[in-house]
Each structure stands twice: as structure tokens, then as C-alpha cells.
Amino acid sequence: RRTIGYSRNTGAFACEADLIAFLDADCLPDRAWLRRAAQDFASPNVVAAGSYPSVLACESNALQRAWAALCRKEDSGVQCVDWLPTANLVVRADCFEAIGGFNETLTTCEDVDLGYRLRARGAVLYDPEMIVHRLREPGSFRAFFRKEVWHAKNNIAGSLSHGLRLSELPSLIAPLAFGVAWLLALIGAFWSPTLLAVGLLTAALVPGLYTVRGLRRCPNLPLVLAIYCVYFAARAYASFGELIHLLVCWSRRSASAAASRG
């Protein structure tokens, strides 16, 4: 009944090493994974290093390979980023402890929150040579939808936890815009052809823009477009659910505060 952040903190705070390495249970690191990480930490300014997991070509289908390619950075070189997924992450123990580790109240997005707080203390490096293979990426669009709904469960709460950054706005606004567009299209289908057209155009624009950018990493247009349509549908579903949950919690706290004052 605890969060992933709680489990990771339990292990990390029991560790006495200078560096703490994180993997997911479905990930297989390359033999040179930690050796490469040690090279990245040669500079004292580096507080974290890692990369997005890849997939094994012999054990993956087209959807899995495409999504792995879309998640990785376009530039193949080492670069500074705001955050890294904990499926492939190494951090300095003293910096990790100084910021209190993972936010244990977050069910998901705890890695994003951790990355932004670490970023305030030094460089977070994306290193494509820190290779980790994920063995269980969703192999169908149905499984992909369900996983992205879960991933986005705390998308808004995670951003509020460390203080909203401008770089996070696209990931917050795009799913909401996609969901609102489909809602307008649904309403327009019954009452207004203009509203229907505006809704459909906006709904197509959001995944379309991401598809154009993603084609540089995966040149399969139909597949990439389908992936982003499912992705934003899942993220919109999760975002509206989280908004409703946050509003209910806020109204309950307001009512409780009013009752205590009364």
C-alpha cells in the first residue's frame, strides 16, 4: 500500500555508497552501465545521470520499438536535462539525501519531481551510452493506453510539488487541450457544425504536431500518429480524473476549515 517513492527511499537511505543506482524490475542493464555512469560523475557538478530505456529488437514488436525511439532524445550526445526516468538513473547519495529523496505522496511522476529538485543542485545528464533495456513495454495499444493513464495519475500534483516550470507546461496543457477538443466536437455533433469542426481540428492538431517532431526519430507516419493519438487520449483521461480529484480534496478541506472556524 506504499508508493514506489517510499520503496525506493527505503533502499536508498539504507545505502552507504557515494552513488545510488535505480532500475525498474523489468529492466536489464548493459554490462558497461555502471562503468559509463562513473565516467559521467567525474565532474563534481554532476548530481545525476541516466537515459531512457531502449528495447531489445529480438524481443519487441513495432509498437514497442517505435515508442522507445520516440522517448529518447534526438541528439545522441550527452546533454543536460531537467529530469530522467528512474528506470535508468544514478544519483549522488549526498544530494539525494539533502533533498529528502522521492516525494512519497506521489503515486507516479515521482521521478520528474525528483529530477527538478536535483537540477537545482547541479547538472542532470542524459547519457545515451548508459544503456538499459526494458523487457516489458506495452505490446498493444490497449496496454499502452492503460499504462499511460497510470503514468499520468499525478502529472499535475507532481508539477505542483516542486513548483511549476515553464518547460512542464506542454505536458500539462496538451492533454487537457486534446480532451477539451473532443468534448467540444461531441457537443458540436449535436448542436453546432462549427463547434464540431473546431473541436476536430484542435483534436487533430495536438497529436499532429507531436507526430511531425517524432518522425525524425521514427519515420513510420501511421504508427507514430496512432501512438500519439492513444497517448493523448490516455493522458487527457488521467488529467481530467486528477483535476476532479484535486477539486474534491480542495472542497473537502475548505468545508473542514469552515466548520472548524464555525
Which band of pLDDT confidence, cut at 50, 70 and 90, is reported for residue 164? Answer: confident
Hey, which residues does 133 pair with through a beta bridge? 28, 54
Which band of pLDDT confidence, cut at 50, 70 and 90, is reported for residue 72? Answer: confident
Give burial (CB, 10 Å; 0-12/13-18/19+) of 83. Answer: buried
Tens digits of per-residue pLDDT, 4-62?
999 999 999 998 999 999 999 999 999 999 999 999 999 999 999 999 999 998 889 99
CA separation for the pair 159, 239 (Å, rounded): 12
Instruction: Please compute the mean of the pLDDT values over residues 186-198 and round it to a whole number.
Output: 89
Hey, which residues does 134 pair with through a beta bridge? 27
Which string of DSSP letters, residue by residue, matches 130-167?
S-EEES----SHHHHHHHHHHHTTTHHHHHHHH---GG
Which band of pLDDT confidence, cut at 50, 70 and 90, is reported for residue 79? Answer: very high
Residue 173's pLDDT is what?
Answer: 92
Tens digits of per-residue pLDDT, 116-135?
999 999 999 999 999 999 99
CA separation for the pair 246, 151 (Å, rounded): 17
pTM: 0.89
CA separation for the pair 12, 230 (Å, rounded): 35
Residue 256's pLDDT is what?
Answer: 76
> Which pairing describes strands 88-92 and 132-134: parallel, antiparallel, or unpaired?
unpaired
